[in-house]
Amino acid sequence: MTGLVFALVAGSALFSSCGGGGSFFVDYDECPRRCVDLFGPEAAGVVRAGRRCECRINGQAIAKVDKAFPKREPPAPAGICGDDGRNYRSSDEAMSSGVRALHAGFCGGCSTKQDINVYRRTRKELTRHTTRCALNYLFVGRENARACLNRGVGFTQACTECWLDNIACTIDHCFETCFRYRMQSHAANNAEGHKLNECLACDEMHCGTPFIRCAGANRRRSGIASDIDRPGSQIWRAPAPSSDASVQGR
């Protein structure tokens, strides 16, 4: 992301929000993602009362945390992901090993040539298509949204799961914001200049960090300008030696 926008949520009383975020009747598995984000892939999370999660490792409770991801900017990338799937401290280090830099930041589930090519091929339409898949997730479920991504995008399986998690996170945290924005008849990804619309800004603040930890690659980090207008300084310039540009988000 952003990679994902949830800007097209069409309203329904069935999915009225509760407690400042999320949907009343549906659990979008935020607790497992929250606990993994905090304590690593061995952690599991279960919902407790209200907006609280209990995090466990090997069945033992280790912490109770807020269900909501804190508002935070996605991290600036550390290092470079090489096209061999390994992490390097810089483009220079990768090149000295005979490896081409694939994207800025460490590798993740979307750090493959296939996924980068998908980003490039769909750079002007990916936000619109993932919005349709987000509606499928909201009203029909995760499997339907997965089929939507597989049919219309073509990510690898690992990358698809990162995007599905991001869709779920955005539904859970930004339903109200995106619904209000959509009801105002807005559709543009950007407000004035490079400023994100309210829905995208909410998604990026709440869900950008866990997404980039999962995916590794996004469009900006891959040097691809997209249908979301970004300052040129945020789009990675691949690779001139010792010029790993600082980019953030999705």
Residue 148 lies in a domain: yes
Residue 6 lies in a domain: no
Residue 176 lies in a domain: yes
Mean pLDDT of the chain: 80
- pLDDT, residue 2, reads 43
Note whether 60 and 160 are same-domain residues. Answer: no
Range in 53-62, 79-88, 228-237 the model is least confident about: 228-237
* Total count of domains within the chain: 2
Residue 117 lies in a domain: no
Tokens read off for 245 = 């540009």
Q: Report percent pLDDT > 70 for the chain.
A: 80
**Contact yes or no for 2/24 (Cβ under 8 A):** no
Residue 143 lies in a domain: yes
User: What band does 5 get if pLDDT is binned at 50, 70 and 90?
Assistant: very low
User: What band does 57 get if pLDDT is binned at 50, 70 and 90?
Assistant: very high
- pLDDT, residue 14, reads 35
Range of the domain at 54: 28-67
Note whether 42 and 128 are same-domain residues. Answer: no
The pLDDT of 17-42, averaged and rounded, is 66
Residue 156 lies in a domain: yes
Q: What is the pTM of this model?
A: 0.79
Residue 249 lies in a domain: no
Note whether 49 and 146 are same-domain residues. Answer: no
Q: Is 58 left (phi over 0), alpha (psi -120 to 50) or beta?
A: left
Tokens read off for 143 = 């499997």
Note whether 17 and 126 are same-domain residues. Answer: yes
- pLDDT, residue 88, reads 94
User: What band does 67 get if pLDDT is binned at 50, 70 and 90?
Assistant: confident
Residue 34 lies in a domain: yes
Note whether 204 and 135 are same-domain residues. Answer: yes
Note whether 63 and 127 are same-domain residues. Answer: no
pLDDT tens, position by position, 169-205: 998 888 888 888 777 755 565 555 667 888 888 898 8
**Contact yes or no for 196/174 (Cβ under 8 A):** no
* Tokens 């999660």 sit on residue: 53
- pLDDT, residue 50, reads 67
What is the torsion angle, in degrees rounded to the nearest 10, for the CA atoms of residue 166, residue 169, residue 173 and residue 179? 60
User: What band does 242 get if pLDDT is binned at 50, 70 and 90?
Assistant: very low
Angle, helices 142-152 vs 126-139, to 10°: value is 160
Note whether 214 and 230 are same-domain residues. Answer: yes
Note whether 17 and 49 are same-domain residues. Answer: no
Note whether 217 and 172 are same-domain residues. Answer: yes
- pLDDT, residue 118, reads 95
